[in-house]
Structure 1
Amino acid sequence: MKNAQVLIVEDSKTMQQFLRNLLESEHYHVVLANDGETGLELFQQGIVAGKPFDIVMTDVVMPGMSGLDLLGKVKALNRDTIVVVLTSDANVETAIEALNLGANNFLHKPPNSEEILNVLWRAAKQREIFLENEELNPFTERTIHIEIPSQLKFIKGISHNIIADAKLMGYDEVDLYDKIPVTIDEAVTNAIKHGNKFQEDKKVYIDIQINTERIKIVVADEGAGFDVTSVPDPTDPMNFLKPSGRGILFMSIGMDEIRYNQKGNVLTLIKYRISPKKVE
């Protein structure tokens, strides 16, 4: 990503000049900020002008706003910006915290030139691949097929797979984490508990299809099924406090469509990118 716009947020003039000279020699466009508040202001100005920074390099310990606080605000404004954290702290927990907040990488100070350029090159390459995927998204449908024994411990991993692929298709990450885990937990738990009766020789099958318009999740068990007409209406206030209807209520909040097959052992869940619930 040569010619990329780089914002360096660093209170050390010596480190500022070192980074500027290095990156400009590699044809990066560099802007400097002495502290987190100034860096955030410059970053916001770039977004308003329609020219967001491609890369932010920030020190962790600075007067006023810390680099980790800046990292969180930058990712909230534009999750696609590459953020590299500079830290003189030898404590690995600082690096882990930065990565958990969305940093693409971190460098220990004082970093050497080769290491800096290598980290930026790898981060930029990942960004380019992401943008190429975005261009293909309208013509892509991602499919996932999962078969698990009737054990509850496998449920969490299902949500992780769905969210990872849906993010690549451009779905909102916050919305995904709000809706997918609780829906999958209810749907697959019901299949294991009520469908397969916890019989580990019976499997639960989860098929997911994700395109730019909707996420479709089909959960099937090997149980005898049930009378679909006995499913309580989740929108009826009389059913809100009934334990038997609570799972259906949770899924109806997270999904736009819920359907059972006639036998009652296959559940289809659909979430649209633009929810009909929000369209008046």
Structure 2
Amino acid sequence: MSDGPHVWNLQRVIVSDGAAAQAVLDEILSELRARQWPASDLFAVHLAVHEALTNAVVHGNRRDPGKKVTVACRLLPNELTVTIGDEGPGFDPHQLPDCTQPDRLDAPGGRGVALMRSFMDRVTFSDEGRTVHLTKRRSAARGGRA
């Protein structure tokens, strides 16, 4: 779906399943590749969107096949925004433990939001933590106009 020659939009409602999440991620990455986004940006988007989708499926919806994940994506020439929502109980992103503290270094999880914040230009939450908004600006490397 497109609003014009330089805008690409995607909207999906998927089941709480890793394969469905991967299919949406692949579609987003394919469009970024087609628009020749730099490899470093592709890596950042891949990591952050994968984490957000995994959080929605696993932590939000708890893999409940009756619950859905919504994905909305808007790609402009130099900026990508991805919004991912789930039907879970939500959470307070300000109350997440600091994953860099010595007592958390060996924890098996708890780094997803920190990774998203590290690799994206903007990460915000709404709907009591059930929705995450990720924004990545195209870097100037390899033809991008930042």
Q: TM-score, normalised by structure 1?
A: 0.44
Matched, 1:264 2:132: no
Task: Identify the residue that residue 30 of structure 2 maps to in structure 1.
Answer: 164
What's the secondary structure of 2:22's corresponding residue? Answer: helix
Structure 1: 4+ residue segments shifted above 3 A: none
Q: Give the whole-Å Cα distance in 2 for the aligned partners of 1:158 and 1:233.
A: 30
Q: Specify every segment of 5 or more residues in structure 1 that has no aligned partner in the other structure, as ranges.
A: 1-137, 276-280
Kindly indicate whether the alpha-carbon contact (under 8 Å) linking 1:150 and 1:199 is maintained by their aligned counterparts in 2: yes
Task: Identify the residue that residue 9 of structure 2 maps to in structure 1.
Answer: 143
Q: Which has the higher contact order (CA 8 A, sep 6+)?
A: 2
Task: Identify the residue that residue 248 of structure 1 maps to in structure 2.
Answer: 113
Superposition RMSD in Å: 2.3
Q: Cα distance 1:228–1:252, how it changes in 2: closer, same or farther (>3 A)?
A: closer
Kindly indicate whether the alpha-carbon contact (under 8 Å) linking 2:16 and 2:68 is maintained by their aligned counterparts in 1: yes
Q: Once the 2 structures are TM-superposed, how far is the Cα of residue 191 of structure 1 from its aligned partner?
A: 0.5
Kindly indicate whether the alpha-carbon contact (under 8 Å) linking 1:156 and 1:181 is maintained by their aligned counterparts in 2: no
Aligned length: 135
Kindly indicate whether the alpha-carbon contact (under 8 Å) linking 2:32 and 2:42 is maintained by their aligned counterparts in 1: no
* 1:237-274 deviation line (CA, Å, top 9, x unaligned): 32772444311222223211111115110001111113
What's the secondary structure of 1:218's corresponding residue? Answer: strand
Q: Once the 2 structures are TM-superposed, how far is the Cα of residue 176 of structure 1 from its aligned partner?
A: 4.1
Query: Aligned runs of 1:1-280 on 2, under 5 Å?
Result: 140-172=6-38, 174-232=39-97, 237-238=100-101, 241=105, 242-274=107-139
Q: Percent identity?
A: 25
Larger Rg: 1
* 1:135-190 deviation line (CA, Å, top 9, x unaligned): xxx96211011211011122222222112212333412x22442222222211111
The structure with the largest helix share of the pair is 1
Q: Specify every segment of 5 or more residues in structure 2 that has no aligned partner in the other structure, as ranges.
A: 141-146
